[in-house]
């Protein structure tokens, strides 16, 4: 009986050891408590992204609504990266208006510059602010900065590297170097396509068409517009599509248009009006309709 007691005692100790090891293992594998809450940050970042999408599709009122909410949330958690991003989105919004509100856009660049120094990566953020400053200066008709320095600082960031190329195209167009502008816009379109930034591609091809048209390359401009329409369809960008067809009509009427080109231009203007009407852009629809009527 004594021998049996010892055996049971040994088994008990072994069982206790196994249980203890299991508990230790469970404790060591349990996830650690997070030291960062990101609920508000994620919400604000999503709103800024939505605002930028609205700017690209011409829904400026909704963009302003999203940015107001994002700015409040960013300030509530004292996040300078979000505040800087929101200010630069405001800059884009004001430059996109017709006519652009350049002075207001400049004010937002100034706000962003103050925020940038406190961002997580202040050097990169400063380069992004400088890129927006280039856009404002070009809209004012004068730019004396150095895009190459900005390009070097943003190298490795696919989105902003493509943005630099697009602004480079704007700069070349400002200098009436339409060949250089076309190359830059085409390169930007390729970069955005390669990295699947769908909403950005159509505007690059639209700008390439402008550059080719200004250079007297009518056929090349129409080819670029075909690309713009293709990608704006893919992005379901209705206002951009209305603008695309209106631009096609204008390009077809350049120089001494043939009767066939006049017919195609009228069709493009009419289709532009139809698209604008479908999204309740009445003033733009009227403009396109009048352009079609003037050809008759």
Q: Please report, rounded to a whole number, the percentage of residues in the chain having pLDDT higher than 90.
A: 86
pLDDT tens for residues 39-57?
Answer: 999 999 999 999 999 999 9
Is residue 283 in some structural domain?
Answer: no
pLDDT of residue 38: 79
User: Each residue of 223-254: pLDDT tens digit?
Assistant: 999 999 999 999 999 999 999 999 999 999 99
Nearest 5 degrees, angle CA 207-CA 220-CA 134? 20
Please report the DSSP string for the chain in residue order.
-HHHHHHHHHHHHHHHHHHHHHHHHHHHHSPPPPS---HHHHHHHHHHHHHHHHHHHT-HHHHHHHHHHHHHHHHHTT-HHHHHHHHHHHHHHHHHSSS--HHHHHHHHHHHHHHHTTSSSHHHHHHHHHHHHHHHHHHHT---S-HHHHHHHTTT-HHHHHHHHHHHHHHHHHTT-HHHHHHHHHHHHHHHHHTT-HHHHHHHHHHHHHHHHHTT-HHHHHHHHHHHHHHHHHTT-HHHHHHHHHHHHHHHTSSS--HHHHHHHHHHHHHHHHHHHHTT-HHHHHHHHHHHHHH-
pLDDT at position 4 over 50: no
Q: Assess contact for 139 and 106: CB atoms under 8 A.
A: no
User: 77 lies in a domain?
Assistant: yes
- The predicted structure's pLDDT at residue 164: 98
Answer with the residue of higher pLDDT: 26 or 183. Answer: 183
- Tell me how far apart the alpha carbons of residues 149 and 129 are, in angstroms, rounded to a whole number: 13
What tens digit of pLDDT does each residue of 156-208 get?
999 999 999 999 999 999 999 999 999 999 999 999 999 999 999 999 999 99
Q: Which domain does 75 fall in, by range?
A: 42-137
The contacts of residue 123 (CB under 8 Å, 6+ apart) are 153
- Whether residue 69 is contained in a domain is answered as yes
Choose among 59, 90, 96, 91: nearest CA to 237. 59
| pLDDT for the residue numbered 45 | 96
Report the pLDDT value the prediction gives residue 40, as an integer from 0 to 100: 94
Closest CA to 79 of 106, 47, 40, 52: 40
Residue 281 lies in a domain: no
Q: Is residue 48 part of a domain?
A: yes
d(CA 82, CA 90): 12
Residue 161 belongs to some domain of the structure: no
Please report the pLDDT score of residue 15 as a whole number. Answer: 54
Distance CA 64, CA 71 (A): 10
Please state the pTM of the whole predicted model. 0.86
- Number of folded domains in the chain? 1
37 pLDDT band, cuts 50/70/90, is low
Instruction: Give yes or no for residue 36 having a pLDDT over 60.
Output: yes
- Please check whether residue 167 lies inside any domain of the structure: no
- Is residue 60 a part of any domain in this protein? yes
Using alpha carbons, select from 85, 57, 61, 59 the residue that is nearest to residue 71.
85
Tokens at residue 101, please?
A: 């509100």
Structure tokens at 165: 């190329």
Q: How far is CA 77 from CA 74, 80, 81, 136, 286, in A?
A: 6, 9, 11, 29, 46
Q: What is the pLDDT of residue 32?
A: 74
Whether residue 27 is predicted with pLDDT greater than 60 in this model: the reply is no
Which has the closest alpha carbon to 270: 282, 257, 281, 286?
286
């Amino acid at each position: 009986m004594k021998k049996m007691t010892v055996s049971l005692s040994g088994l008990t100790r072994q069982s206790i050891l196994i249980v203890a090891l299991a508990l230790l293992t469970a404790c060591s594998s349990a996830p650690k408590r997070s030291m960062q809450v990101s609920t508000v940050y994620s919400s604000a970042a999503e709103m800024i992204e939505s605002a930028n999408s609205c700017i690209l599709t011409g829904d400026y009122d909704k963009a302003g609504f999203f940015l107001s909410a994002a700015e409040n949330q960013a300030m509530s958690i004292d996040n300078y990266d979000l505040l800087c991003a929101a200010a630069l989105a405001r800059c884009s919004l004001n430059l996109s208006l017709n006519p652009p509100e350049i002075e207001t856009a400049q004010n937002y660049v100034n706000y962003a510059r103050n925020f940038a120094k406190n961002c997580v990566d202040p050097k990169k953020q400063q380069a992004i602010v400088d890129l927006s400053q280039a856009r404002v200066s070009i809209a004012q008709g004068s730019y004396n900065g150095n895009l190459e320095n900005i390009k070097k600082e943003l190298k490795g960031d696919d989105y902003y590297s493509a943005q630099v190329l697009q602004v480079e195209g704007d700069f070349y167009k400002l200098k009436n170097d339409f060949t250089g502008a076309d190359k830059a816009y085409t390169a930007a379109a390729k970069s955005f396509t390669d990295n699947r930034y769908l909403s950005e591609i159509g505007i690059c091809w639209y700008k390439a068409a402008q550059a080719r048209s200004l250079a007297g390359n009518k056929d090349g401009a129409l080819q670029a517009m075909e690309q713009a329409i293709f990608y704006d369809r893919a992005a379901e960008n209705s206002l951009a599509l209305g603008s695309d067809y209106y631009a096609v009509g204008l390009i077809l009427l350049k120089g001494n248009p043939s009767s066939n080109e006049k017919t195609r231009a009228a069709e493009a203007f009419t289709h532009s009006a139809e698209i604008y009407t479908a999204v309740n852009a009445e003033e733009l629809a009227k403009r396109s309709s009048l352009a079609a009527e003037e050809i008759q």
